[in-house]
Structure 1
Amino acid sequence: MYDFFCAIILGIVEGLTEFLPVSSTGHLILAGSLLGFEGDAATTFKIVIQLGAVLAVLLLYWKRYMSILKDLLAFKFSQKNKLNAIHMIVAMIPALIVYLIFKDVIKTYLFGPGTVLIGLIVGGILMIVAARAKRKVTAENTDNITYKQAFGIGLFQCLALWPGFSRSGSTISGGLLLGTSQKAAADFTFMISVPVMLGATVLDMYESRDLLTSDTLLLFLVGFVAAFIVAMIAVVTFLNLIKRLKLEWFALYRFVLAAVFFLFMM
């Protein structure tokens, strides 16, 4: 029964943090440490339930995804003033390659409270630097993003493989440094989150199939549903928030969270 309580709590945490540049994975690891919910099955659980929150993005952007899919099937890849599948593919490739090469190292050595605190701090510094860089904006919205910018954002997404950095925090920071508006970077981040997280979840579940017993599957389902419901409630508010609120405020929250947990761990 306690495990199901943990699953619900972590699902809520995931749903509330997935869309903010504060690292949902980092929050899940820290919360899991506080709850004593750790181990191989817990690590897989923390990856799988993120899909519940990401599906909220799929529902929000479904018309955009259908348009991109339609163009892909029709082999329409014109870059001019139109976000297409090529943008998304080149943005996903860097993190996919790095994850496939280092996935065992990541899961073995980086899924711990100490490494999360490092990610929170360094990622917060990156966000402050990006927010204050004052680069010339060449892409006001996602349709203005070039292939080069998409690939560059994809390189920044590699940082998110370190829990605590945050996928949205890393990619939005990368977008700002590469000349996109914060709104364009945020929208693009959420667009690529669905295929990225779907691929990562399916791969991780396949590799952890020995852990998928009737008990763990029910646990995963509880966390998945909790994350999805909370995310659906929070998604619109948080998407608007992240497009308007300066990154420095999120960085400040990350520093405070890291300091509190550092004192707790001493």
Structure 2
Amino acid sequence: MFDLWVAFIIGLVEGLTEFLPVSSTGHMILTGHLIHFTGDTAETFEIVIQFAAILAVVVLYWKRVLRLFGIQLGERAPANGPRMNLIHVAIAIVPAMGLAYVLRHFIKDVLFSLETVLIGLVLGGIFMIIAEKQQPPVTAQTMDDLTYRQAFFIGIAQILSLWPGFSRSGSTIAGGMLAGATRAAAADFTFLIAIPIMTAACGYEILQNIDKFSRDSLLFFAVGFVTSFVVALLAVATFIKLVGKLKLTYFAYYRFALAAIILVYMLTVGM
């Protein structure tokens, strides 16, 4: 039942896609259908490997996290002008977290399907193209330049990611750009606010599904966890270096291609 190759494949897909603007949910649902890995075990496994991906971001952003609590290590924050703090983070995560809690049953029971993911991929891609084409004058070059209003706008944009396929990082990076942040500043802030919002979501889901963990599945979960952590670490580190050069438009085209693949799969298999 617990095929280690399945654990590796799902962990690889999660690590690669969780923090890129391509929708990890869309990839996970499609991959699960293709390799016939669905059901309660699959849902619990996905929660575990998502937590591994979060830890990868913590490793990369630990100095910035400490700075939020007044612990300064390494480079200094700007002496003058705006400085990002816990209020920015709270403003950005509360809208989506609150709505996710209220609509959690509807989202899980109704929206997690190939059809809804297909719609989310297309609409999310269009939103990202709009952000690239209609970006206003930049007022936030770095994450530390973000104002409370911009943080709130990013938080509102993050609500779109509650629809599977939209992509949390895609929604927030695009939202940040439309609020006047550079692509790099929006991406940095996106990765940082992923830590509390995804930790809370994964923690809640793990507590709700604690009875589904078993001794027999320990190695299976461990392989997926390690794979997701390592791959997410490499994916985020690479994306951070390239984000200034990679327009969201490229990811939008990829999303359209993935949506076409899902559509062909649905028509062929009859899902």
TM bucket (normalised to shorter chain) is over 0.9
Match of 2:216 in 1: 215
Does structure 1 conserve the Cα–Cα contact (< 8 Å) formed by 2:2 and 2:220?
no
> Number of matched residues?
261
Match of 2:96 in 1: 95
Question: C-alpha distance in 2, partners of 1:115/1:65?
Answer: 34
Does structure 2 conserve the Cα–Cα contact (< 8 Å) formed by 1:43 and 1:107?
no
Match of 2:45 in 1: 45
Does structure 1 conserve the Cα–Cα contact (< 8 Å) formed by 2:184 and 2:240?
no
Which letter maps to 2:175?
G
Which letter maps to 2:177?
L
Does structure 2 conserve the Cα–Cα contact (< 8 Å) formed by 1:20 and 1:242?
no
Does structure 1 conserve the Cα–Cα contact (< 8 Å) formed by 2:173 and 2:183?
yes
Match of 1:139 in 2: 140
Q: State the 1:35 CA deviation.
A: 0.9
Question: C-alpha distance in 1, partners of 2:99/2:244?
Answer: 28
When structure 1 is superposed on structure 2, of 205-214 and 151-160 the one drifting more is: 205-214
TM value normalised by structure 2: 0.90
Does structure 1 conserve the Cα–Cα contact (< 8 Å) formed by 2:2 and 2:217?
no
Match of 1:74 in 2: none
The runs of 5 or more residues in structure 2 that have no matched partner are 72-78
Question: C-alpha distance in 2, partners of 1:218/1:70?
Answer: 39
Give RMSD over aligned pairs: 1.9
Match of 1:236 in 2: 237
Q: In the alignment, is residue 29 of structure 1 matched against residue 23 of structure 2?
A: no
Question: C-alpha distance in 1, partners of 2:124/2:27?
Answer: 14
Question: C-alpha distance in 1, partners of 2:83/2:241?
Answer: 22
Which letter maps to 1:16?
L
Which letter maps to 1:58?
V
1:89–1:50 distance in 2 versus 1, CA, 3 Å: same
Which letter maps to 2:42?
A
Which letter maps to 1:214?
R
Which letter maps to 2:9?
I
1:215–1:242 distance in 2 versus 1, CA, 3 Å: farther
The runs of 5 or more residues in structure 1 that have no matched partner are 72-77
Match of 1:11 in 2: 11
Match of 1:225 in 2: 226
Secondary structure of the corresponding residue to residue 96 of structure 2: helix
Match of 1:57 in 2: 57
Question: C-alpha distance in 1, partners of 2:105/2:257?
Answer: 30
Question: C-alpha distance in 1, partners of 2:14/2:42?
Answer: 14
1:126–1:3 distance in 2 versus 1, CA, 3 Å: same
1:68–1:136 distance in 2 versus 1, CA, 3 Å: same
TM value normalised by structure 1: 0.92
Does structure 2 conserve the Cα–Cα contact (< 8 Å) formed by 1:115 and 1:163?
yes
